[in-house]
Amino acid sequence: MQRLKIDHLLKTYPNGVKALDNVSLQIGNGMFGLLGPNGAGKSSLMKILATLLQPDSGNVFFDETDIGTNPHFLRSRLGYLPQDFGVYPRISAAELLEHLAVLKGITNRADRKQQVAALLQQTNLYENRKQAVSTFSGGMRQRFGIAQALLGNPQLIIADEPTAGLDPLERNRFHDLLSEIGEQVVVLLSTHIVEDVHDLCPEMAVLIGGQLVLKGKPSALTEKLRGRVWQKTVSKDALAVLKSNNHVISTRFIGGSTQVHILSDVQPDSGFRLVEPGLEDVYFSTIFGNQRPGNRQAI
Ligand SMILES: Nc1ncnc2c1ncn2[C@@H]1O[C@H](COP(=O)(O)OP(=O)(O)OP(=O)(O)O)[C@@H](O)[C@H]1O
């Protein structure tokens, strides 16, 4: 069942930037990954879904309720993890969580205490509960962000670029935490990190220049590229020539030379070998094919 329905959203900022250009999307329970490069419009969409920003036109429904006319319906069911909280007060993690629980309407004191303690345990912050959030590391702040987003058993969880700036260990811990949230709620994860979607999300979409250009299951989207992704290790000079004649989807510098991936129906030259396509190939070939607005094919 599709619980979150996004219907023809348009958003242009006063400076003329069209951040969302007719975005429609339907999302059911489980983790959904929204991938897009910087400036694609992900945060604008997340803010509209979190009722922090008004679209110029279009509608958002959650469980059949229009959140434009009934924002409280969503707010009471929402857990929002923004890109950055901005300010971190000097009070302890437990106190801050308790305070946020009150704001979320958890009025029963015993209930609140129990939820705060359970969430601190779940996010592995219980030992640090008396420490001020302002002294937390980036990873601890993100885990605290998840703890506050989970207060009040939300039905829709929105996480906006939650792993940007985390080291690999903290990213893994964060992934484990997100995947524990379960299949019974809608989790929308916005990111420009392909691995986040690969590791966590059974469904995904790609947003570029305010338009949705791709949607599906990562495995199915990857499968579509089978037999068309070619790899070769080349020098810098050879790369420039390849780029002018081929559909280069990604380059990676390894030990002084460059590993290049090309999308092609035929072997580009005898040095290339076919490789198993990955989600990065899907993402980069989508970006490549949609770089210019004239080339863009919204879905
Ligand atoms: N308040 C604003 N006023 C004017 N333009 C804005 C505003 N917020 C965002 N934009 C512009 O709208 C476009 C979409 O921005 P948005 O932050 O939604 O994208 P994003 O995909 O989240 O990017 P990032 O990963 O860099 O945060 C960008 O061109 C951005 O510069």
In the listed set 184, 200, 217, which residue is the last one of a domain according to the structure? 217
pTM of the model: 0.89
Whether residue 146 is found in the same domain as residue 6 = yes
Band (pLDDT 50/70/90 cuts) for residue 205 is very high
Q: What is the mean pLDDT of residues 172-187?
A: 83
Q: What is the mean pLDDT of residues 63-87?
A: 87
Residue 107 CB less than 6 A away from ligand 1:
no
Q: What is the mean pLDDT of residues 271-292?
A: 87
Ligand 1 centroid–CA 201 distance in Å is 24
Ligand 1 centroid–CA 13 distance in Å is 9
Q: What pLDDT does 295 receive?
A: 64
**Nearest residue CA, atom 12 of ligand 1?**
19
Q: Reduce the DSSP state of residue 74 to 3 states and report it.
A: helix
- Total residue length of the chain: 299
Is 70 exceeded by the pLDDT of residue 247?
yes
Whether residue 18 is found in the same domain as residue 129 = yes
Residue 40 CB less than 6 A away from ligand 1:
yes
Whether residue 241 is found in the same domain as residue 164 = no
Is 70 exceeded by the pLDDT of residue 50?
yes
Alpha helices in the chain (DSSP H): 42-49, 71-75, 93-103, 109-122, 138-150, 168-180, 194-200, 218-223, 236-245, 279-289
Is 80 exceeded by the pLDDT of residue 68?
yes
Band (pLDDT 50/70/90 cuts) for residue 207 is very high
In order, the DSSP letters of 139-165 are HHHHHHHHHHHHTT--SEEEEESTTTT
Residue 44 CB less than 6 A away from ligand 1:
yes
Ligand 1 centroid–CA 271 distance in Å is 41
User: pLDDT by residue (tens digit) across 209-245?
Assistant: 999 999 999 999 999 999 999 999 988 788 888 888 8
Residue 108 CB less than 6 A away from ligand 1:
no
**CATH number of 32's domain:** 3.40.50.300
Nearest Cα neighbor of 48 from 8, 2, 84, 103 is: 8
> Can you tell me the distance from the alpha carbon of 34 to that of 30, in angstroms, rounded to the nearest whole number?
13
Whether residue 162 is found in the same domain as residue 202 = yes
Residue 274 CB less than 6 A away from ligand 1:
no
Q: What pLDDT does 1 receive?
A: 83
In the listed set 192, 217, 242, which residue is the last one of a domain according to the structure? 217
**Nearest residue CA, atom 31 of ligand 1?**
39
Q: What angle do helix axes 109-122 and 93-103 make, rounded to 10 degrees?
A: 130
Q: Which residues contact 191 (CB under 8 A, 6 or more apart)?
A: 33, 34, 35, 42, 161, 162, 163, 164, 197
Band (pLDDT 50/70/90 cuts) for residue 64 is very high
From 34, 42, 189, 208, mutation site for ligand 1 pocket: most ligand atoms within 8 A of C-beta:
42
How many angstroms from the chain centroid is the CA of residue 271? Answer: 36
Q: Which value, in Å, is the radius of gyration of the alpha carbons in the chain?
A: 21
Q: Which atom of ligand 1 is nearest to the CA of 15?
A: 4
In the listed set 194, 217, 240, which residue is the last one of a domain according to the structure? 217
Whether residue 172 is found in the same domain as residue 228 = no
Q: What is the DSSP letter of 92?
A: B
Q: What pLDDT does 293 receive?
A: 61
Look at the block and give the residue holding tokens 């989807």: 249
Residue 52 CB less than 6 A away from ligand 1:
no
Two tokens at 17?
């930037």
Residue 39 CB less than 6 A away from ligand 1:
yes
Characterize the bridge pairing of strands 156-160 and 186-191: parallel
> Can you tell me the distance from the alpha carbon of 49 to that of 42, in angstroms, rounded to the nearest whole number?
11
Whether residue 147 is found in the same domain as residue 243 = no
Number of C-alpha atoms within 13 angstroms, CB side, residue 145?
25
Burial of 227 (0-12, 13-18, 19+ CB in 10 A): exposed
Residue 265: domain span: 223-295
Q: What is the average pLDDT value for the chain, to the nearest integer?
A: 89
Domain count, the chain: 2
User: pLDDT by residue (tens digit) across 106-155?
Assistant: 889 999 999 999 999 988 899 999 999 989 988 888 889 889 999 998 99
Residue 19 CB less than 6 A away from ligand 1:
yes
Q: What pLDDT does 236 receive?
A: 79
Whether residue 153 is found in the same domain as residue 272 = no
Residue 38 CB less than 6 A away from ligand 1:
yes
